[in-house]
């Protein structure tokens, strides 16, 4: 789960990282009131899950009430690469002497946390990594030891931080690492990590992604994320414990088990089709779950045909077939379904489907023929 900047900053603050105090608001009047209370100059910042807000006009300095009102009016509702701004963060503007970059993430190949630091902050770090890779310091951390102050000082020194702020940068890195570990983040990034003219080190921006698999350890995280901009279908899927990822094609994919669904996407693509989603109903899918999954798929209006790919292990194909029959009775889909049932009770499952004589349902024996069929059907119905 990705956090909005201000939510990330609040987590930072709890772990001792310096951030500016501020206020999250959703109306122009509240923005102006917050700015008056905080004191000018303030910075008015769009809260969307998208980087490059500054360039897109979503970060503006205001030196008085009039400017605060003007910026809040312009930024609320602003579309930043498809993300509509519904929340503003107002904070006291900082003076900037230098902009650095710092992050902690998981290095999957090393199977260790990775700390990155650069004095080239404020710009896109991908550009630094490409054009001047020597200016981006990367160091793995031993997860059993954690990021010690000594290692952090070494990173800041190697990265070329100004001598008088080496300790301040090291403290920020240690705090950022603590955020990453204790909040179960997969990414904790500060760009820019600034040095003020009076030589304080401070996080001016925050990009934090939390690991959803650890959500149960953090009941206090439940309200975080960009709740106002969630895809309603994804919300419904999450409530029903179904893994659903929206893609931009026109073939609805439903399977049980992430591995099966992923290979189904591949086989459909190989046949020239374009999946509209990734939907994993999970192991042990029963009739009710199948019905919910069908409903989720059909609520995406781009879907022109559905491929149902079930491999029965714990999941019983007869249960799945019953779920499909119930879903058809309830939802009366108008798009064709291709169904491939294999594994536990597959013969019985196909019998159930045959007996129900569902309109527009095609049973296929193999994954390959099912994919070919669904691609053909999706083409026809365009
Ligand atoms: P991003 O564009 O989405 O990465 O948003 P940031 O929060 O990083 O802000 C973009 C840029 O706005 C920063 O790199 C700064 O240069 C500038 N900025 C943000 N906050 C302040 C502030 O308090 N004071 C000043 N002087 N500039 C700021
Ligand atoms: Mn930034």
- Whether 101 is a known active-site residue: answer yes
Binding site per annotation, positions for substrate:
256, 313-315
234/228 Cα distance (integer angstroms): 13
Binding site per annotation, positions:
45, 52-54, 91, 94, 99, 191, 205, 256, 313-315
The structure tokens listed for 253 are 């994919």
CA of 204 to the centre of ligand 1 (A): 7
Determine the pLDDT at residue 238. Answer: 81
Using most ligand atoms within 8 A of CB, pick from 43, 127, 202 the residue to mutate for ligand 1. Answer: 43
Q: Which ligand is located closest to the Cα atom of residue 50?
A: 1
Domains of the chain, first to last: 21-92 (3.30.1490.20), 98-221 (3.30.470.20), 232-380 (3.40.50.261)
SS3 at position 150: helix
The answer, yes or no, to whether any atom of ligand 1 lies below 6 A from the CB of 48, is no
Those residues whose C-beta lies under 8 Å from the C-beta of residue 347, and which sit 6 or more positions away, are none
105/108 Cα distance (integer angstroms): 9
Determine the pLDDT at residue 382. Answer: 63
Specify the DSSP element, H or E, that contains 361.
strand 361-363
Indicate which residue of 100, 101, 177, 362 is catalytic.
101
310/315 Cα distance (integer angstroms): 8
Residue 77 backbone zone (phi > 0: left; psi -120 to 50: alpha; other: beta): left
CA of 112 to the centre of ligand 2 (A): 25
- Whole-angstrom CA distances from 63 to 59, 171, 380 are 13, 31, 59
- Whether 139 is a known active-site residue: answer no
What tens-digit pLDDT sequence spans the chain (382 residues)? Answer: 899 999 999 999 999 999 999 999 999 999 999 999 999 999 999 999 998 999 999 999 999 999 999 999 999 999 998 889 999 999 999 999 999 999 999 999 999 999 999 999 988 899 999 999 999 999 999 999 999 999 999 999 999 999 999 999 999 999 999 999 999 999 999 999 999 999 999 999 999 999 989 999 999 999 899 887 777 888 888 888 888 988 889 999 999 888 999 999 999 999 999 999 999 987 667 778 888 899 999 988 899 999 999 988 888 899 989 999 999 999 999 999 999 999 999 999 999 999 999 989 998 889 999 999 999 999 987 6
Using most ligand atoms within 8 A of CB, pick from 2, 49, 50, 59 the residue to mutate for ligand 1. Answer: 59
Strand 83-84 with 79-80, pairing: antiparallel
SS3 at position 351: helix
- Whole-angstrom CA distances from 73 to 51, 153, 365 are 21, 43, 58
Burial of 371 (0-12, 13-18, 19+ CB in 10 A): buried
Give the position, in ligand 1's atom list, of the atom nearest the Cα of 91.
23
Angle of CA points 104, 234, 6, to nearest 5°: 40
The answer, yes or no, to whether any atom of ligand 1 lies below 6 A from the CB of 41, is no
What's the pTM value of the predicted model, to 2 decimals? 0.79
- Whole-angstrom CA distances from 91 to 97, 130, 133, 299 are 18, 33, 33, 40
The answer, yes or no, to whether any atom of ligand 1 lies below 6 A from the CB of 206, is no
CA of 115 to the centre of ligand 1 (A): 22
Q: How many CB atoms lie within 10 A of CB 172?
A: 26
């Amino acid at each position: 789960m990705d956090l909005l900047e201000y939510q990330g900053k609040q987590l930072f603050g709890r772990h001792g990282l310096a951030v500016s105090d501020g206020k999250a608001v959703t109306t122009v009047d509240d923005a102006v009131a917050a700015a008056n209370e905080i004191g000018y100059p303030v910075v008015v910042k769009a809260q969307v899950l998208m980087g490059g807000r500054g360039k897109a006009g979503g970060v503006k300095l205001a030196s008085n009430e009039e400017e605060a009102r003007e910026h809040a009016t312009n930024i609320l509702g602003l579309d930043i690469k498809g993300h509509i701004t519904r929340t503003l963060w107002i904070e006291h503007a900082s003076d900037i002497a230098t902009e650095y970059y710092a992050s902690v993430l998981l290095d999957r190949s090393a199977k260790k946390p990775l700390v990155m630091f650069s004095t080239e902050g404020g710009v896109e770090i991908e550009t630094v990594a490409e054009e001047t890779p020597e200016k981006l310091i990367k160091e793995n951390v031993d997860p059993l030891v954690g990021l010690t102050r000594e290692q952090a000082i070494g990173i800041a020194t190697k990265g070329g931080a100004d001598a008088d702020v080496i300790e301040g940068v090291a403290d920020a890195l240690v705090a950022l690492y603590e955020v990453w570990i204790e909040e179960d983040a997969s990414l904790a990034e500060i760009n820019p990590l600034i040095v003020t003219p009076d030589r304080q080190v401070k996080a001016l921006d925050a990009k934090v992604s939390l690991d959803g698999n650890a959500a149960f350890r953090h009941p206090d995280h439940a309200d975080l994320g960009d709740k106002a901009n969630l895809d309603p279908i994804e919300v419904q899927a999450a409530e029903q414990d179904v893994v659903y990822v929206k893609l931009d094609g026109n073939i609805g994919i439903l399977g049980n088990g992430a591995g099966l669904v992923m290979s189904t996407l591949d086989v459909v693509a190989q046949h020239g089709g374009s999946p509209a989603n990734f939907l994993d109903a999970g192991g042990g899918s029963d009739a009710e779950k199948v019905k919910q999954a069908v409903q989720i798929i059909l609520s995406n209006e781009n879907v022109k045909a559905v491929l149902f790919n079930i491999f029965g292990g714990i999941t019983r194909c007869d249960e799945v077939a019953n779920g499909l029959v119930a879903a058809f009775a309830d939802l009366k889909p108008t798009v064709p379904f291709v169904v491939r049932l294999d594994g536990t009770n597959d013969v019985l499952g196909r019998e159930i489907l045959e007996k129900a004589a569902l309109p527009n349902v095609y049973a296929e024996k193999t994954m390959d023929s099912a994919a070919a069929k669904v691609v053909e059907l999706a083409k026809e119905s365009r």
